[in-house]
Amino acid sequence: DARVTQTPRHKVTEMGQEVTMRCQPILGHNTVFWYRQTMMQGLELLAYFRNRAPLDDSGMPKDRFSAEMPDATLATLKIQPSEPRDSAVYFCASGLVIGTGELFFGEGSRLTVL
């Protein structure tokens, strides 16, 4: 059963530390999205890639967040340095025919920054 895999599932860290979240999209999917979810803001789009190229990362705080796709099987989201306001659940999603809006989400990485 194909699925999007995210690691770590949970991360607790201290302010100022670097955090890296990883995502393995479904094999064959050419588009990857990163979202952040909090109670206050809901699901926010941070960045998305098509064929490994970043198309839009306007939702990310540029000074501390970075997103990359080193290869077709791995997407990474890095926060350096982390801050308490970054505490949220981070979701990765992949898709093939984005025009229809069909995405497959991972289970998320819950980040707590103390």
Q: Which of residues 65-94 bind another protein (CB under 8 A)?
A: 91, 93
Structure tokens at 62: 């540029």
CA 72 to CA 106: how far, in whole Å? 16
Q: Least distance (Å) from another protein to the CB of residue 33?
A: 7
Q: Least distance (Å) from another protein to the CB of residue 27?
A: 18
Q: Which of residues 23-52 bind another protein (CB under 8 A)?
A: 33, 35, 42-43, 45, 48
Check: CB of residue 19 under 8 Å from CB of residue 80. yes
CA distances from 4 to 31, 39, 62, 83 (A): 12, 23, 25, 27
Point out which residues bind another protein (CB under 8 A).
4, 33, 35, 42-43, 45, 48, 55-56, 91, 93, 98-108
